[in-house]
């Protein structure tokens, strides 16, 4: 009898620490662009934090931290002050309120993902890779429910009969799971898992991961990568 195939999350949990870091950075590289896109939609480009002495350009900050993390993956000796960068990211992450527009959530997800990886490097969080994976997939689900699947979700919510509602909910879940963007993201994550588990931590892997990211051509939400 064939051994059951592990779920994507179970496979991620089985990764070695450096493999988890590599996986997280590959996924985050297609999430971080949402921060800059979010800022471009705001009338004020700079995000001010009460805990920081000066305004912080969140797009530039997240890009810088991602770069530092990639450098650390390529060369473990290329360390930096994780605590300082974590404080900057957490202090500048957009707040969520009752009237928060949807556009802020992809930026928040990217910041949360970066924060979790920094905490992992500080030995304060061991599930960062799984969290990054869930943030990426959850972001797609949230966008779909906000856009093309919004009517289907509303229909589910308005069904009074419990059995009928359960059936409609299963249909909605099926629509999310099998949407091209979600299928693409899961396939991408599976490919990254294969790369990090079949290659050593070296320049070749770094090149392969960056090529894999570039070849997708899109962010996790389907926006064209520049």
- Per-residue pLDDT, 103: 78
End-to-end CA distance of the chain: 46
Is residue 175 assigned to a domain?
Answer: yes
- β-partners of residue 47 are 56
The percent of residues in the chain predicted with pLDDT above 70, rounded, is 89
- CA–CA distances in Å: residue 215 to residues 12, 29, 188, 209: 22, 12, 10, 10
Among residues 118, 129, 134, 117, which one has the least CA distance to residue 14? Answer: 129
Q: What is the pTM of this model?
A: 0.90
Is residue 4 assigned to a domain?
Answer: no
Which tens digit of pLDDT belongs to each residue from 83-120? Answer: 999 999 999 888 777 667 777 899 999 999 999 999 99
CA angle 130, 135, 138 (to 5 degrees): 120
Which tens digit of pLDDT belongs to each residue from 147-182? Answer: 999 999 999 999 999 999 999 999 999 999 999 999
Could you give the number of structural domains in the chain? 1
Is residue 185 assigned to a domain?
Answer: yes
Q: Determine the structural domain holding residue 208 and report its residue range.
A: 15-216
As given in the structure block, the two tokens for residue 2 are 């064939």
Q: Is the pLDDT of residue 32 over 60?
A: yes
**What CATH number corresponds to the domain at position 31?**
1.20.1590.10
Q: Is the pLDDT of residue 142 over 80?
A: yes
What dihedral do alpha carbons 70, 94, 136, 41 form, nearest 10°? -100
Kindly give the residue spans of alpha helices, DSSP state H, lying in 29-177. 33-40, 58-74, 82-92, 104-121, 128-146, 150-157, 162-177
Q: CA-to-CA distance for 54 and 47, rounded, in angstroms?
A: 10
pLDDT confidence band for 5 (50 / 70 / 90): low
More confident residue, 189 or 104: 189
- Per-residue pLDDT, 54: 52
pLDDT confidence band for 64 (50 / 70 / 90): very high
Is residue 59 assigned to a domain?
Answer: yes
Mean pLDDT of 207-213: 97
Is residue 225 assigned to a domain?
Answer: no
Q: Is the pLDDT of residue 33 over 50?
A: yes
């Amino acid at each position: 009898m064939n051994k059951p195939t592990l779920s994507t999350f179970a496979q991620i949990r089985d990764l070695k620490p450096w493999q988890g870091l590599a996986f997280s950075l590959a996924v985050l590289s297609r999430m971080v662009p949402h921060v800059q896109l979010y800022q471009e939609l705001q009338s004020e480009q700079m995000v001010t934090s009460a805990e920081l002495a000066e305004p912080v350009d969140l797009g530039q900050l997240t890009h810088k931290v991602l770069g530092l993390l990639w450098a650390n993956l390529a060369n473990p000796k290329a360390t930096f002050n994780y605590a300082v960068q974590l404080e900057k990211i957490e202090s500048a992450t957009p707040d969520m309120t009752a009237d928060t527009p949807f556009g802020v959530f992809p930026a928040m997800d990217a910041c949360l993902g970066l924060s979790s990886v920094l905490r992992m490097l500080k030995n304060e969080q061991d599930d960062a890779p799984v969290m990054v994976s869930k943030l990426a997939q959850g972001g797609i689900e949230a966008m779909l429910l906000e856009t093309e699947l919004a009517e289907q979700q509303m229909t589910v919510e308005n069904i009074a009969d419990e059995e009928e509602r359960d059936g409609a909910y299963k249909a909605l879940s099926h629509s999310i799971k099998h949407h091209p963007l979600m299928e693409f993201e899961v396939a991408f994550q599976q490919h990254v898992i294969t790369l990090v588990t079949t290659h050593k931590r070296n320049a070749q892997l770094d090149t392969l991961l960056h090529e894999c990211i570039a070849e997708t051509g899109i962010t996790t939400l389907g926006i064209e990568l520049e």
